[in-house]
Amino acid sequence: MSDTQKYDIIVIGSLNADLVVRSPRFPQPGETISGGDLLTIPGGKGANQAVASARQGANVAMIGRVGKDNFAPLLIENLKSNNVNTSHVAQDDSATGTAIIIVDANGQNSIVLSPGANGKVDFHDIDSAPDAKILLLQFEIPMDSVLHAARRYKANGTTVILNPAPARQIPEALLTLIDILVPNESELSLLTNMPVTDVKSAELAAQEILKRGVKTVIVTLGSKGALVVTGTQATQVDTYKVEVVDTTAAGDAFIGGFASAMLNNKSLEESVRYGCACGALATTKLGAQPSLPTKEEVERFMSLQ
Ligand code: RIB
């Protein structure tokens, strides 16, 4: 696709090299334990969401930054091989973003991020980016840049979807620009300062967010699926039961699947159900981008349920 055309989806966000070790359990502070082989896997919430969308057939461009080290070509090549346009991924003298990830025997993870070049994404990167129908944002680049991106694309009539991860507070100016907010339970709890422990409490907290200017909140609830809350109703959407190997990037798979389904004119609920299938499938494989399902895999999986 030429850069003067509108993309289906633009992702402005992070690219990380995920340094992954499987471990029988998480170590205690001060403790050393032995795990499996070290794996270097393409990741980063932004790049994961770009690949997740492209594998569902969307035309996607990634906007972000990498360094000039050995991780950079690994991340760029993986995006390209998944048909994600990378002509707006800049290279600078920082280190490429890295995530140190431990995956335990239950498939749960623990992550420490080193933002590197992701922390340098600036207004220029955003202003020179192409137009799109949907903008996907997360919190692994500077907050000022997230806000600038939301402002720029909102002014063009683009649908702005924010995944407020890793969890942090959202400036009020940003909230009013968001069409669809996709937090998990702990992110929603932090945003509202309210306990979110079940579907009812998630609904109450999501309603608080709606009062602050967001149009739709979709709370991802892990094995309980997702809760869609709009100004007029709250609907819980069930997910699928699978054997969990690694939950890394399940939320990213959900968002890419959800956004692609919306582009295919599915209803809000159908799109969330589709996103749940993508998220569930992503948990059945190790790693971030290698675990993201294709359109064919998702359709086959859903037809067998
Ligand atoms: O959402 C999963 C991602 O979070 C990983 O790929 C890792 O890079 C961290 O950013």
Residues identified as active-site:
252
Expressed in angstroms and rounded, the spacing between residue 253 Cα and the centre of ligand 1 is 11
The domain of 264 spans 7-14+44-91+118-303
Say if residues 69 and 92 touch (Cβ distance below 8 Å).
Answer: no
The per-residue pLDDT for range 105-163, each reduced to its tens digit, is 999 999 999 999 999 999 999 999 999 999 999 999 999 999 999 999 999 999 999 99
DSSP state of 55: T
**20 in any annotated domain:** no
**155 in any annotated domain:** yes
Expressed in angstroms and rounded, the spacing between residue 10 Cα and the centre of ligand 1 is 18
Per-residue confidence (pLDDT) for residue 6, from 0 to 100: 86
Question: Which regions in the chain score pLDDT beneath 70?
Answer: 1-5
Q: Residue 305 and residue 297: Cα distance in Å, rounded?
A: 13
**241 in any annotated domain:** yes
**179 in any annotated domain:** yes
> Which residues neighbour 124 within 8 Å (Cβ) at sequence distance 6 or greater?
none
**21 in any annotated domain:** no
Expressed in angstroms and rounded, the spacing between residue 166 Cα and the centre of ligand 1 is 9
Q: Is the CB of 16 under 6 A from ligand 1?
A: yes
**82 in any annotated domain:** yes
- The number of domains in the chain is 1
> Which residues neighbour 234 within 8 Å (Cβ) at sequence distance 6 or greater?
203, 206, 227, 228
> Could you tell me if residue 42 is left (phi over 0), alpha (psi between -120 and 50 degrees) or otherwise beta?
beta
CATH number, domain at 199? 3.40.1190.20
**70 in any annotated domain:** yes
**111 in any annotated domain:** no
Per-residue confidence (pLDDT) for residue 5, from 0 to 100: 59
Q: Is the CB of 56 under 6 A from ligand 1?
A: no
Q: pTM to 2 decimals?
A: 0.96
Q: Which of 108, 248, 283, 289 to mutate to test the pocket of ligand 1 (most atoms within 8 A of CB)?
A: 248
